[in-house]
């Protein structure tokens, strides 16, 4: 049965989102920069290579452990601009609020956006605000767009994974999704899990200074590491093998995932990146990432392989293998 | 908040030793049914099929509660969601199950108030907060979930709540095993019983079944070492020509089970004939709300007219649930029936056999 209406699942970042993009959006906007489906569009203006990206933030709750919707909106777009190796410079912000939204909350959110921009070394240079009647949006939605410059010699994108590349994750996975979920209505978890929301632009520029063999960078946000690796395997037409015993997951995150039936591989991150790097540069890139304040737990989780192009496999703790597919449907809790 | 005593049951060294012993022990073809969907998923998730010898084949059983929920019940769920002034609460797996021309996910997109909860007791809170609305919990599950649903009905009764109802499609595991053993064409050499179900019911309830059929039957936990350990015990029994009930999950499962949970369950529910999707009616296998608590029974209170509904054409869920067919044998599998467009419930539920085969590309 073909979907007649938009479902929440179309916003999950998984298979249904991809179908909507390829069926409706790509044909209408028809251009190769969009069709590459990278985190940002990369193009040249007067011989200068630029990276341009946009993202909208509708998170619920708007305040969550370790952060809020504002800093998330700044960090998220900075990261999307940076994943092609760009140096992000300027951001725009568009805010849609529901009437009755407390100024006290707005001030906290705006202030944290300013602080996040400062920390990342970028500026928010243009913006827009709109207010809609009660119920026409939920509290506050924020859109940010960002622009950055790319070294003309760089070519980092999802199509560039090569057989033999090592895959580094810059820290523990699934922190953000579980921090938010634990605070959702109806969840009464007393945990120390906080969001990992962080700007990764400095981590990226540092690694690119010491290595010219970084082939792919991507932040595994919606859909998690599992879905992101599938995107890269598909774009590059290469196989990917990761190891269950190497995946970094905090004990507290693991515990909540177990209780609620979530697989950390499909839970969102907001301050992590996946880095595909040639084996010979792996150690020094890993060392460089670990020097970043947001990369202390970085480690190698797998490699790019010849067999099964377009697919991602996991070697389990007991030595069996299973396929890691894209996320389909919202991740659902267990029933028995 | 680390989960203690889990890592050792995922220890690769212990797992390797168990795998070696299974390979040494198994000489004859052995068809084992993992009764429960939680086992099915864990077997796939941990790559257990991959490490077992060719002599051992696994059949996934009818122990996925969403999968065995009758079409008429799914259609009733959708009817309830369409009612005015009604909030439907449920466990998330039910959202995508097709019934008639709709699903609860589509009803939600069309404006129905459908809410996923993690405990039936959350529904009580929702009922208290919405006194002018009816709150209906859709109860689907086995012995694992039934006691908490019972507890929520007891709580609602104590509070004198008048706007909380439960539609019960709960089922019990032992009567289904009995039916499997008597179904023509079904050949099973051993049963892996679900630890969480037996944690409530206890092993005693299964003694008559195993004594009658003399089939190797082992209770297992859900971590890879638990499952491999249970497999080894079953294979040893089979090779020695034995057929007894053993417990490989002693850290959780006792002979008598959880007496408090069972008392709550039988204070509220009574057994009745239930329709199992793909299998048909099984006497004494369902849990209905008894007279004492009938004011909470949604099928009575809401005046539902639940009609028999045909199952989708071509869907082989019935044969798959009894182990007669494997998902790739179904002509709809992967072609028409996918997790995005599921035809039968085995593809919908996260713990369904077809969903597992699809997800892990078997």
Read off the CATH number of the domain in which A176 is found: 3.90.650.10
Residue A234 and residue A268 in one domain: yes
Q: Is A187 near chain B, with CB under 8 Å?
A: yes
- How much is the average pLDDT of A84-104? 97
- How much is the average pLDDT of A96-100? 96
Judge contact between B21 and B159, C-beta under 8 A: no
Q: B109 and A7 in contact by Cβ < 8 A?
A: yes
pLDDT band at A125 (very low <50, low <70, confident <90, very high): very high
Domain-located, residue A4: no
**pLDDT tens-digit series, residues A34-50:** 998 888 999 999 999 99
Q: Is B216 near chain A, with CB under 8 Å?
A: no
Residue of B21, B336, B340 to mutate, testing the A interface (most A Cβ within 10 Å of its Cβ): B340
Which residues 57-96 in chain A show a CB within 8 A of chain B?
none
Q: With contacts defined as CB-CB under 8 Å, which chain A residues touch B48? A: 318, 320
Q: Is B182 near chain A, with CB under 8 Å?
A: no
Predicted pLDDT of residue A39: 84
Domain-located, residue A12: no
Predicted pLDDT of residue A186: 62
* CA-based nearest residue to B272, from B280, B281, B284: B284
Residue A176 and residue A281 in one domain: yes
**pLDDT tens-digit series, residues B204-251:** 999 999 999 999 999 999 999 999 999 999 999 999 999 999 999 999
- Which domains does chain B carry? 28-58+173-247 (3.40.50.11750), 71-172+257-301 (3.40.50.11740), 317-359 (no CATH)
Residue A174 and residue A318 in one domain: yes
Predicted pLDDT of residue B309: 77
Judge contact between B224 and A315, C-beta under 8 A: no
Q: Which candidate from B92, B108, B110 shows the least CB-CB separation from A332? A: B92
Q: Is A333 near chain B, with CB under 8 Å?
A: yes
Tell me the nearest-neighbour CA distance from B13 into chain A, angstroms: 8
Q: With contacts defined as CB-CB under 8 Å, which chain B residues touch A19? A: 340
Q: Say yes or no to pLDDT of A220 above 90.
A: yes
Tell me the nearest-neighbour CA distance from B332 into chain A, angstroms: 13
Q: Could you give the CA distance from residue A8 to residue B128 in angstroms, rounded to a whole number?
A: 27
- Pairing between β-strand B190-194 and β-strand B30-36 as defined by DSSP bridges: parallel
Predicted pLDDT of residue B57: 92
Secondary structure (3-state) at A21: helix
Q: A325 and B359 in contact by Cβ < 8 A?
A: yes
Predicted pLDDT of residue A260: 80
Residue A239 and residue A307 in one domain: yes
Domain-located, residue A329: no
Domain-located, residue A47: yes
List Cβ neighbours of B162 (8 Å cut-off, separation of 6 or more). B295
**pLDDT tens-digit series, residues A294-332:** 999 999 999 999 999 999 999 999 988 999 988 765 554
Residue A100 and residue A223 in one domain: no
Residue A172 and residue A146 in one domain: no
Identify the closest residue of chain B to A16 by CA–CA distance. Answer: B340
Tell me the nearest-neighbour CA distance from A103 into chain B, angstroms: 27
Tell me the nearest-neighbour CA distance from B351 into chain A, angstroms: 9
Residue A171 and residue A319 in one domain: yes
Query: What six digits make up the tokens of B295?
Result: 């004011």
Secondary structure (3-state) at B354: helix
In total, the C-beta contacts within 8 angstroms joining chain A to chain B are 136
- How much is the average pLDDT of A164-170? 98
Q: A317 and B46 in contact by Cβ < 8 A?
A: yes
Q: Say yes or no to pLDDT of A209 above 70.
A: yes
Q: A322 and B45 in contact by Cβ < 8 A?
A: yes
Last residue of a domain, one of A89, A122, A150: A150
Task: Specify the number of domains making up chain A.
Answer: 2
Q: Enter the ipTM.
A: 0.74
Residue A107 and residue A176 in one domain: no
- How much is the average pLDDT of A97-112? 97
**Between residues A269 and B315, the one the model is more confident about:** A269
Domain-located, residue A6: no
Residue of B5, B10, B92 to mutate, testing the A interface (most A Cβ within 10 Å of its Cβ): B92
Judge contact between B252 and B226, C-beta under 8 A: no
Predicted pLDDT of residue B244: 97
Q: Could you give the CA distance from residue B245 to residue B201 in angstroms, rounded to a whole number?
A: 14
Predicted pLDDT of residue A37: 86
pLDDT band at A185 (very low <50, low <70, confident <90, very high): low
Query: What six digits make up the tokens of B150?
Result: 């019972």
Judge contact between A93 and A129, C-beta under 8 A: no
Residue A145 and residue A172 in one domain: no
* CA-based nearest residue to B92, from A89, A60, A9, A309: A9
Identify the closest residue of chain B to A4 by CA–CA distance. Answer: B106
| φ/ψ of residue A218, rounded to 5 | -155, 145
Q: B49 and A333 in contact by Cβ < 8 A?
A: no
Residue A108 and residue A219 in one domain: no
Q: What angle do CA B67, B69, B70 make, to 5 degrees?
A: 120
Q: A191 and B12 in contact by Cβ < 8 A?
A: no
Identify the closest residue of chain A to B49 by CA–CA distance. Answer: A320
Q: Is B100 near chain A, with CB under 8 Å?
A: no
Residue A50 and residue A171 in one domain: no
Q: Which candidate from A9, A255, A322 shows the least CB-CB separation from B44? A: A322
Q: Is B110 near chain A, with CB under 8 Å?
A: yes
Q: Say yes or no to pLDDT of A13 above 80.
A: no
Q: Is B91 near chain A, with CB under 8 Å?
A: yes
Q: Could you give the CA distance from residue A262 to residue A189 in angstroms, rounded to a whole number?
A: 15
The CATH number covering residue A120 comes to 3.30.1330.10
Domain-located, residue A314: yes
Domain-located, residue A21: no
Domain-located, residue A17: no
Query: What six digits make up the tokens of B256?
Result: 């008598």
Residue of B350, B355, B360 to mutate, testing the A interface (most A Cβ within 10 Å of its Cβ): B350
Q: Could you give the CA distance from residue B139 to residue B99 in angstroms, rounded to a whole number?
A: 16
Containing domain of residue A176, as a range? 166-324
List Cβ neighbours of A253 (8 Å cut-off, separation of 6 or more). A172, A173, A174, A175, A178, A193, A264, A267
Tens digit of each residue's pLDDT, chain B (362 residues):
455 667 788 888 999 999 999 999 999 999 999 999 889 989 998 999 989 999 999 988 888 888 889 989 999 999 999 999 999 999 888 888 888 888 998 999 899 999 999 888 899 999 999 999 999 999 999 999 999 999 999 999 999 999 999 999 999 999 999 999 998 888 899 999 999 999 999 999 999 999 999 999 999 999 999 999 999 999 999 999 999 999 999 999 999 999 999 999 999 999 999 999 888 899 999 999 999 999 999 999 998 887 777 777 888 888 888 888 889 999 999 988 988 888 887 887 777 889 888 887 66
Arithmetic mean of pLDDT over chain A: 92
Query: In 10 A of CB B201, how many CB atoms?
Result: 23
Residue of A318, A319, A333 to mutate, testing the B interface (most B Cβ within 10 Å of its Cβ): A318
pTM: 0.83
Tell me the nearest-neighbour CA distance from A24 into chain B, angstroms: 17
Q: Say yes or no to pLDDT of A32 above 80.
A: yes
Q: Could you give the CA distance from residue A32 to residue A35 in angstroms, rounded to a whole number?
A: 5
| SS3 sequence of B278-320 | CCEEEEEEEEEECHHHHHHEHHHHCCCCCCCCCCCCCCCHHHH
Residue A209 and residue A185 in one domain: yes
């Amino acid at each position: 049965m073909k979907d007649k209406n938009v479902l929440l699942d179309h916003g999950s970042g998984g298979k249904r989102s991809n179908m909507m993009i390829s069926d409706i959006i790509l044909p209408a906007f028809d251009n190769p920069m969009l069709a590459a489906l990278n985190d940002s569009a990369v193009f040249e203006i007067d011989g200068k290579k630029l990276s341009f990206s946009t993202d909208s933030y509708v998170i619920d709750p708007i305040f969550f452990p370790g952060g809020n919707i504002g800093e998330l909106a700044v960090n998220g777009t900075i990261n999307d601009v940076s994943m092609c190796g760009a140096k992000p410079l300027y951001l725009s912000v568009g805010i849609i609020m529901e009437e009755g939204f407390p100024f006290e909350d707005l001030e906290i959110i705006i202030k944290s956006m300013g602080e996040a921009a400062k920390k990342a070394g970028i500026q928010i240079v243009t913006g827009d605000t709109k207010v809609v009647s009660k119920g026409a949006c939920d509290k506050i939605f924020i859109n940010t767009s960002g622009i950055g410059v790319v070294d003309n010699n760089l070519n980092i994108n999802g199509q560039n994974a090569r057989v033999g590349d090592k895959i580094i994750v810059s820290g523990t996975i699934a922190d953000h999704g579980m921090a938010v979920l634990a605070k959702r209505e109806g969840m009464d978890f007393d945990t120390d899990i906080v969001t990992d929301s962080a700007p990764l632009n400095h981590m990226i520029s540092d690694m690119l200074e010491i290595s010219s063999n970084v082939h792919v960078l991507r932040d595994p946000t919606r859909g998690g590491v599992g879905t992101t690796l599938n995107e890269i395997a598909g774009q590059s037409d290469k196989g990917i093998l990761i190891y269950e015993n190497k995946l970094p997951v905090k004990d507290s995150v693991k515990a909540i995932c177990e209780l609620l039936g979530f697989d950390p591989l499909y839970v969102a991150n907001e301050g992590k990146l996946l880095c595909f790097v040639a084996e010979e540069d792996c150690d020094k890139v890993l060392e460089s990432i670990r020097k970043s304040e947001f990369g202390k737990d970085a480690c190698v989780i797998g490699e790019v392989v010849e067999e099964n192009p377009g697919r991602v496999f996991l070697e389990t703790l007991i030595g069996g293998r299973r396929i890691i597919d894209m996320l389909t449907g919202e991740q659902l809790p267990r029933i028995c | 908040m680390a989960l203690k005593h889990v890592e050792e049951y995922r220890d690769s060294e212990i797992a390797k030793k168990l795998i070696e012993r299974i390979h040494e022990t198994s000489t004859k073809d052995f068809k084992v049914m993992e009764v429960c969907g939680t086992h099915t998923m864990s077997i796939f998730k941990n790559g257990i099929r991959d490490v077992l010898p060719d002599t051992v084949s696994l059949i996934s059983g009818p122990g996925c509660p969403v999968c065995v929920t009758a079409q008429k019940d799914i259609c009733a769920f959708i009817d309830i969601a369409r009612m005015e002034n009604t909030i439907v609460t449920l466990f998330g797996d039910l959202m995508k199950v097709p019934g008639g021309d709709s699903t609860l996910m589509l009803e939600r997109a069309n404006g129905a108030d459908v809410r996923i909860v993690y405990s039936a007791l959350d529904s009580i809170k929702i009922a208290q907060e919405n006194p002018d609305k009816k709150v209906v919990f859709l109860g689907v599950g086995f012995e694992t979930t039934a006691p908490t649903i019972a507890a929520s009905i007891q709580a609602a009764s104590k509070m004198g709540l008048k706007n909380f109802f439960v539609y019960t499609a709960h089922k019990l595991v032992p009567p289904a095993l009995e039916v499997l053993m008597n179904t023509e064409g079904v050949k099973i050499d051993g049963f892996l019983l679900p630890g969480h179900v037996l944690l409530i019911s206890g092993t005693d309830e299964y003694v008559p079944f195993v004594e009658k059929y003399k089939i190797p039957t082992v209770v297992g936990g859900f971590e890879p070492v638990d499952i491999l350990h249970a497999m080894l015990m079953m294979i040893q029994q089979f090779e020695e020509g034995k057929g007894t009930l053993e417990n490989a999950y002693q850290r959780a499962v006792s002979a008598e089970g959880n007496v408090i949970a069972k008392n709550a369950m039988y204070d509220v529910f009574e057994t009745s004939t239930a329709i199992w999707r793909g299998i048909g009616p099984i006497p004494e296998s369902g849990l209905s709300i008894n007279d004492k608590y009938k004011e909470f029974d949604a099928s009575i209170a809401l005046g539902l007219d639940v009609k028999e509904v045909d199952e989708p054409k071509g869907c082989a869920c019935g044969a798959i649930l009894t182990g007669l067919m494997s998902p790739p044998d179904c002509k709809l599998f992967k072609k028409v029936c996918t997790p995005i467009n599921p035809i039968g419930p085995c593809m919908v539920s996260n713990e369904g056999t077809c969903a597992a085969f699809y997800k892990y590309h078997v």
